[in-house]
Amino acid sequence: YNGSPPGLPHCDEVGHLMEEGHCVRTIHAEHNVLLQAAVIPGGSTKGSTLYVKYSPCIHCCKYIVACGIVRVVVGKIYRNSKAIDYLKEAGLEVDFYQEDKRWQNELIKLFSEEIEDRKPTEGDVKLKEEK
């Protein structure tokens, strides 16, 4: 999501800090997810697929490339297609989400695996109780 860095107030709470027509208090969703992945113990974005609702801005594309993302799935083009061209030029695979069974099944599989991977084990539960 687009929003303020963790621990800082959101624009709706303290006002929008606008520069050149953009709110500089917030982080774009693409940048935000990459930063959050960076602080997860053992987390890595290298070789990952990034799903986005709208095509990212050119600044976020630079972060996506630098973090080792290899594929971006886009819902719709936002403003222009320059960012898509940039990603392809950098060698990333770019797909556009299609509302069909193939994509639905891919997303269901992806999130099912993610949920299964995150289920706590007995050791995880004990660690939480000990704290």
Helices (H), the chain: 11-14, 29-38, 58-66, 82-89, 101-118, 122-130
| CATH number of the domain that residue 82 is part of | 3.40.140.10
Q: Into how many domains does the chain fold?
A: 2
Query: φ, ψ for residue 50 (rounded to 5)?
Result: -110, 125
Q: Do 47 and 75 have their domain in common? A: yes
Q: Do 131 and 76 have their domain in common? A: no
Q: Do 120 and 81 have their domain in common? A: no
49-54 and 22-23: which strand pairing?
A: unpaired
Q: Do 90 and 114 have their domain in common? A: no
Q: Do 18 and 63 have their domain in common? A: yes
Q: Do 87 and 24 have their domain in common? A: yes
The residue range of the domain holding 60 is: 1-94
Q: Do 121 and 78 have their domain in common? A: no
34: CB partners within 8 A, 6+ apart: 45, 63, 64, 67
Percent composition of the chain: helix, strand, coil (DSSP 3-state, to 5): 45, 15, 40
For 56-72, the pLDDT digits (tens) are 999 999 999 999 999 99
Give the predicted TM-score (pTM) of the model. 0.69
Q: Do 89 and 109 have their domain in common? A: no
Examine the pLDDT at 19 and tell me if it is beyond 90: no
Q: Do 76 and 129 have their domain in common? A: no
Q: Do 58 and 122 have their domain in common? A: no
For 79-96, the pLDDT digits (tens) are 888 999 999 999 999 999
